[in-house]
Amino acid sequence: MASIGSLVFPTNGFSAVIFDCDGTLVDSMPAHFEAWCDALSLYGAGGIFKEDVFLAMGGRPTRDIVVELNDEYGLKLDPEEVAFAKREAFLKRLDSLTLIDEVAAFAEALRGKFPLSVASGGSRMVVEKTLKSVGVSDWFDEVVTADDVENGKPSPDVFLRAAELMGIAPSECLVLEDAPAGIIAAQRAGMQVIAVPSPVLSFEI
């Protein structure tokens, strides 16, 4: 299990809640980083993607990150090929994923009381497999991914689409997000945002 420590969640002032997936609801960022390292090494670019840079770019679609890495390092990586390799490397690590305790408890407490959605910068297949792997696929009314919108985070598209599908005005939506791009996207959507800190491992004694 993973914990973010004490974080105060509001109990009113919103009509629906939208959760980012990776790093917010699910402690999956270590697995995503390892998958990035595997994929980049496969194409001769091992070691260029530092973990702090990876975390700062969290929430953005894989292809967009590959394009930026190409620009930054003068590389000619194929975004589609690297994205595929990264996805396959991540899927091998699904068993390592856990829920982030406090965020999951908040989501579970709201089930049946408010419309709930997931809005992620990941692909639909990976997001759905991630939610299934931690046993929360049936918690959410809608799941919106990078596959469903034209522009990924920090564009507000995924959040606006989630609000539209739920039939809730953006200003009445509360977003939980961990990554800078996602926080900016939610703000651009005109939504309330709670910034979720990075989890630390918690152990039962």
Active site (catalytic) residues: 20
The answer to whether the CB of 91 falls within 8 A of the CB of 126 is yes
Tokens (6 digits) for 51: 């973990």
Give the Cα separation of 75 and 14 in Å (integer).
45
DSSP annotation of 196: P
- The phi, psi pair for 117, rounded to 5°, reads -140, 160
CA distance from start to end of the chain:
13
Closest CA to 120 of 80, 65, 175: 175
- The tokens for 87 are 């996805």
CA 161 to chain centre: 15
- Rounded Cα distance between 82 and 78, Å, is 6
**Count of beta carbons in the 10 Å neighbourhood of residue 105:** 12
